[in-house]
Amino acid sequence: MKRNSFWVASFTASVIIAIVLLVAGSPTVTANDQPSAANAEVKIDNFVFGPPTITVPVGATVTWTNKDDIPHTSVSTEGVFKSKVLDTDEKFIYTFTKAGTYSYYCTIHPKMTGKVVVQ
């Protein structure tokens, strides 16, 4: 009899906890509640910066990687950063220390553009 009483009590406690959690609800977590990543990546592929716009926190490091078979660059329109010519699989890394919007383009293919928003 004691064994059955233990299991009944355990089961009852589990049910009560489940009901309390359902009634109280769990806190809702939104993307804004999550910490921002300190690093971000932009892939250069098929003559496109992807993603074309990224948002990062101040102090974030962004890495551009050329996945195309031809060379590309990543150059700020305001002269804040400038990569060398990147061959296939080469990377350019820049750390953003100030908030702002940083537009950039490929000097070899000026129609290729992107943007980093630093908050």
Q: Which residues pair with 62 in a beta bridge?
A: 40, 94
Rounded CA-CA distance 86/100 in Å is 25
CATH of the domain at 109: 2.60.40.420
Rounded CA-CA distance 45/82 in Å is 18
Model confidence, pTM: 0.69
Per the domain annotation, does 51 fall within a domain? yes
Domain that holds residue 38: 31-118
Rounded percentage of the chain residues whose pLDDT exceeds 90: 68
Predicted pLDDT of residue 38: 79
pLDDT higher than threshold 50 for residue 85: yes
- Say how many domains are in the chain: 1
* pLDDT tens, residue by residue, 4-58: 554 455 444 444 544 444 444 434 333 333 344 579 999 999 999 999 999 999 9
Rounded percentage of the chain residues whose pLDDT exceeds 70: 69
